[in-house]
Amino acid sequence: MSILKVARMGHPVLKRVADRVEPEQFGTPGFQSLIRDMIETMEEYSGAGLAAPQVHVPLQVSVIEVKGNPRYPQANEIPLLVLVNPVITPLTQEKRLGWEGCLSVPGLRGAVPRFTRIQVQAQDQNGDDLDFIAEGFKSVVIQHETDHLFGTLFPERMENLKYLFFEKEWDRYSEQLPQLPVID
Ligand code: NI
């Protein structure tokens, strides 16, 4: 296993649409070791999720896991989830603003509007179909990671750049902010 180098905002691999994983790729040692390395990299850098383009691999694969994460101390736990070729369908038009960070946008936090309830259709690491509904923080992380697979970073989703902070200033001053508005 290895910890992989994370691409940062500006790298072309983060701006392109990643390739779908083809059925014959699932069983290969390279694909399985990519997933293991992505999980190890996510844990090493305390990410809530990691998408393959962030480790310079333009494939539609992401890993998600939250348990006792120092970057997200308030967040509910999310058991390890591997999403391959995910398709997201919003189940409501309601969006809510929440704070996000990204290993590819180090040092920054921003308030990003996300759908509050989504349907997720994808495959797991073995190529088996997944179909489930996600809400709350889990749905936010899935939307963030899936955006990576289509060349989008969280600042591009922001509607008000007044809510873009450096982490240190966010720690210091975010409690003074008015509560984030809910967008309907
Ligand atoms: Ni990210």
Q: Domain map of the chain by residue range?
A: 12-93+115-152
- Residues in CB range of 180: below 8 A, 6 or more apart: 96, 97, 98, 111, 163
Query: What's the fold here for domain 12-93+115-152?
Result: Peptide Deformylase (3.90.45)
Percentage above 70 pLDDT, the chain: 97
Q: Is 156 considered catalytic here?
A: no
pLDDT digits (tens, 9 = 90+) for 52-84: 999 999 999 999 999 888 877 777 889 999 999
pLDDT tens for each residue of 85-142:
999 999 999 999 999 999 999 999 999 999 999 999 999 999 999 999 999 999 999 9
Catalytic residue among 145, 156, 159, 175: 145
Tell me the CA–centroid distance for residue 138 and ligand 1, in Å. 14
Task: Indicate the average pLDDT of the chain.
Answer: 93
CA of 11 to the centre of ligand 1 (A): 13
**Contact in structure between 103 and 148 (CB atoms under 8 Å):** no
